[in-house]
Amino acid sequence: MDDEKELLNKNAQINNEDDQPEEYGDIRVATEVISIVASLAAQEVPGVLRMSGRRIDGINELLGKESVSKGVRVSFDSKTVTCNVYVIIEYGFCIPEVALEIQEKVKDAIETMTGYDVQFIDVHVQGVAKREKSALEKEAEAIAEAGLFDSKPLFDEAEVEAEAEARHKQFFEED
C-alpha cells in the first residue's frame, strides 16, 4: 500500500514537470513530402485529369519510375511555403472553378499535414484532354451498339402512379 502511494506521488510529480514546456528540437518536413501532399490533394479535385510534370518526370515515367510528386514545385521561406501546381484539366470542366478548388485543397492539405503556412498556390493549367473510357464503359457501349439489351422501360409510369394513388387512398381511409 505504501509502495502504491509512493508510486502515485512520483507520477504526480512527473505530470507536474510535463506541464512546463520544453523545447525538444526542430521538426523539418522535406520538400519532396510537401510536393507529394500537394500532388495527392490536387488529384482529388474533380476535373483534374492528371498532373503535368517536367521533362525529367516524363523520362522517369518511361523508365517505370513514376513520381508521386509529379507536377508540383515547392519553395520555402522559413515556415512559409509557396507552391506551383501543374495540371491537365478534363475536357468539359470549368477551368477557373477547378483551379480555385485545387488552390483550396492543396493549401488545406499542406497546412493540416505539415503545420507550415502557405503563402500562395499558383495553378498552371498545362492542357485540356478527354478522359479515357474505362473497360466497363467500353463494354457498355459495345452492348448498346450491338442492341443486346431491351430498350423498353423497366416499369410502366402509369401503373406506378395508379399504385401510389391506391396506397394514398388506403392510408387516408384508415384514419
Q: How is domain 27-129 classified at the CATH fold level?
A: Alpha-Beta Plaits (3.30.70)
pTM equals 0.62
Is 85:121 a contact under the CB 8 Å cutoff?
yes
All structural domains of the chain with their residue ranges: 27-129, 135-174
CA distance 46 to 154: 32
Task: Give the pLDDT confidence of 62-73 residue by residue, as tens digits.
Answer: 555 556 778 999
> Which of 81, 93, 96, 88 is closest to 37 using CA atoms?
81
Task: Give the pLDDT confidence of 52-100 residue by residue, as tens digits.
Answer: 876 545 555 555 555 677 899 999 888 899 999 999 999 999 999 999 9
